[in-house]
Amino acid sequence: MLDSLPRFPLATLPTPLEEVPRLSRELGVRVLMKRDDLTGFALGGNKVRKLEFLVAEALDKHADVLVTGGGIQSNHVRTTAAAARKAGMHAVAVLFSSPGSETNGNLLLDRLLGAELIYAGTDDKIETDRMVQKVTEDLRAQGHHPYLIPVGGSTRLGCVSYIGAVGEVLEQLRARALKPDYFFITTGSCGTHAGILAGVKYYGERIPVYGITVSRAVNECRERITRLVNETASFVGRELALSDSDIIVNGDYLGPGYAQITPEAREAIRRVARLEGILLDPVYTGKTMAGVIDLVGRGIIPRDSTLVFWHTGGQPGLFGFANQVLDH
């Protein structure tokens, strides 16, 4: 089933699964990073996997423009804009909020790629999704063939791409005779978390998928993950029975809100950079690493555990939030 789905090749796969020995030694757990920041296309990240399936469906439907939405520094908008170009299409994106003074990072790349940017004038994600819908309808009324990708590309097709990613990492773990105690993932629009959870079920594994939310409230994440896993299960024609305890979402590291850095995330980014030469990002993976460091430090994640930390990318955000990343 998975192999027969249309796929528009964008990502360089498999992405590496790497040991991070100095960080592991300091924390007293074994950490491996699944380097999905290295999917390659247009500076990479997790959205590239999702877009392989989403763009394939758009082409199948003869779309000429991709319509999506996200934050001002959205990695999803950047990669969607690039994928549209590679597929010979245009891209329109609705961005949360209003034009600010920042022009760097993902925003620079969106403009370089020629995406049409519309400001929602609000940070409300539901309202932004509604505007994405409205823009799509308007384009259709004007005779275009738009393909709507919801914020974050979190649809059943987006999740399917992460079932594939789980298959990929399980093979890499098997080759090293490793059995992780946890997958750690950043939970944003929830498609990656739901896809990894669906993948764990799909392959009959029991590895807990531990999500750290950086965007939405825990309850909203739980609802979205449940809905996405169920939709994905019926789409792939498999029963992927979820119990409540399968869904682990921790809201303790969100700080003041989405795309607002915390001192702990800033410290985690600096620590991983200086120990391993690996760059995390300020909006997603920095907060998740801050969570890992804290949970290990407090003994909630036992010493000597083996963790797979999914590095989902986002480094252009370092430039978009340059004034927040360094401690002045």
Ligand X SMILES: *Cc1c(COP(=O)(O)O)cnc(C)c1O
- Residues at the interface with ligand X (CB under 6 A): 45-47, 75-76, 152, 154, 186-193, 281, 284-285, 312-314
Name the minimum Å distance from CB 74 to ligand X: 7
CA 201 to chain CA mean position, Å: 19
- Contact assessment for residue 186 and residue 288, using Cβ atoms and an 8 Å cutoff: yes
Q: Which residue stretches of the chain are H helix?
A: 21-27, 46-60, 75-86, 106-112, 125-141, 156-175, 191-202, 218-236, 263-276, 285-297, 316-320, 322-325
Contacts 24+ apart (CB under 8 A), 323-326: 324/260, 324/261, 324/266, 324/282, 325/261, 325/266, 325/269, 325/282, 326/266
User: Whose Cβ is closer to ligand X: residue 178's or residue 242's?
Assistant: 242
Residue closest to ligand X when measured from CB atoms: 314
Name the minimum Å distance from CB 219 to ligand X: 16
Name the minimum Å distance from CB 304 to ligand X: 27
Name the minimum Å distance from CB 291 to ligand X: 13
Name the minimum Å distance from CB 321 to ligand X: 13
- Residue 45's nearest CA partner among 165, 126, 147, 149 is 165
- Residue 29's nearest CA partner among 19, 37, 38, 39 is 19
CA–CA dist 54, 146 (Å, integer): 13
4 has catalytic annotation: no
User: Whose Cβ is closer to ligand X: residue 202's or residue 309's?
Assistant: 309
User: Whose Cβ is closer to ligand X: residue 76's or residue 90's?
Assistant: 76
Q: How far is CA 270 from CA 79, 106, 145, 155, 161, in A?
A: 26, 21, 45, 33, 31
CA–CA dist 140, 259 (Å, integer): 32
User: Whose Cβ is closer to ligand X: residue 57's or residue 220's?
Assistant: 220
User: Whose Cβ is closer to ligand X: residue 67's or residue 185's?
Assistant: 185
3-class SS string, 267-281: HHHHHHHHHHCCCCC
Catalytic residue among 24, 74, 161, 189: 74
183 — phi, psi (to 5°)?
-100, 125
Give residue 205's identity as a one-letter amino acid code. Answer: E
Name the minimum Å distance from CB 190 to ligand X: 5
User: Whose Cβ is closer to ligand X: residue 187's or residue 232's?
Assistant: 187
Residues classed as catalytic: 74
